[in-house]
Structure 1
């Protein structure tokens, strides 16, 4: 399941489709953003972000978060909050590219943890990875058991 757009979302849908798997693209209707990619064999279109996030959460076995903008941060924050507050069954959350995520993680440590807005153990809800092989190993260990 991806956001249904281009780039890495398209690559993930293409890989799933070519491997014979179910390839789901959950696109968001925006006047200036992505168009659905052709590799999702199941396409869903959403007008509102909150409905789309519910669907991501409902079907997620893991979140693999790559560098992105406000939409990516929104989806990440929703998952972290729901896991932290035990509103959902926890699943692995992977942040890919430590250089990209370092300032965000530093801010969480130096601001959120330091001012007791979150607990130090909340920083363990996610895992930062750089190596694709490490990501596959962790996915296999934690999801594909």
Structure 2
């Protein structure tokens, strides 16, 4: 990230630089508990802003068609094998007739958009306001910036026919478990959730199938919502199977 990019703060459709950069994000201000009493008056207006994010997102993506979301770390660059794998998966997703949706940032998100664009498909980025600007990567053809994580997450779920989850951190895990929870509780229809890289994900699977399952806090079928693969071709085969079903 260049110094100019670090100095830029994206706040929904607005870009702020220099002294105009806020110290707190919109999400922080919404969720803080110890704010001044004027929240009684300001929150109704906040609802209008939240509503506008949903309207903008629905409007931008309404005619997108079938899509697959690709998640993964913003910290893994071109020198990481996972980056190239994400490019191959995204290109294969396009060949299957889907658009590719990512978080629009660097790393694995960039690889997903890059693979889609190079394959001639629709490359979508759903960005988010963060304290340290990441910016929309150059391979995004259709980009939507959000202030609120929950509005953005709704778009991922609503417009995706499957999730491909590459190695990633807390943000990636958040999207992964959001989808699993929604499917487990029958809030959404079942769709494929593919974890790429068994060596990376095996520890999580071991924990789910031992401590979590043994405690009775999940059912055996909940773990079956996940498919674990080691290559781009295996990931694409899972998506093909789901499409045939």
TM over 0.5: yes
User: Is residue 2:217 matched to residue 1:117?
Assistant: yes
Count of aligned pairs: 145
**After alignment, is 14-23 or 60-69 more displaced?**
14-23
Deviations 1:64-123 (Å, cap 9, x if unpaired)?
001111111110010000011111011000011111111111111122211111001111
Matched, 1:50 2:178: no
Which runs of structure 2 are paired with 1:1-145 in the superposition (5 Å)? 1-32=101-132, 34-143=134-243
Query: Please, which runs of 5 or more residues in structure 2 have no aligned partner?
Result: 1-100
Determine if contact 2:197/2:228 at 8 Å carries over to the other structure: yes
The answer to whether the Cα contact below 8 Å between 2:194 and 2:238 also exists between their aligned partners in 1 is: no
Checking the alignment, whether the CA contact within 8 Å between 1:93 and 1:127 is kept in structure 2 is yes
Deviation at residue 18 of structure 1 after TM alignment? 2.6
User: In 1, Cα distance between the equivalents of 2:108 and 2:175?
Assistant: 16
Where structure 1 has 5 or more consecutive residues not aligned to the other structure, the ranges are: none
TM-score by length of 1: 0.93
Kept in 1: contact 2:127–2:146 (CA 8 A): yes
The Cα offsets for residues 30-54 of structure 1, whole Å up to 9 and x where unpaired, read as 1225221011111011112111111
Partner Cα separation in structure 1 for residue 207 and residue 133 of structure 2: 28
**CA displacement at 1:57 relative to structure 2:** 0.2
Q: Tell which deviates more after alignment, 110-119 or 17-26.
A: 17-26
What is the CA-CA distance between 1:61 and the residue it aligns to? Answer: 0.8
Helix, strand or coil for the counterpart of 1:78? helix
The 1:57–1:99 alpha-carbon spacing in structure 2 relative to 1, beyond 3 Å, is same
Deviant stretches of 4+, over 3 Å: none
The normalised TM-score by structure 2 is 0.57
Q: How far 1:20 moved relative to its partner?
A: 2.5
| Cα-Cα RMSD | 1.4
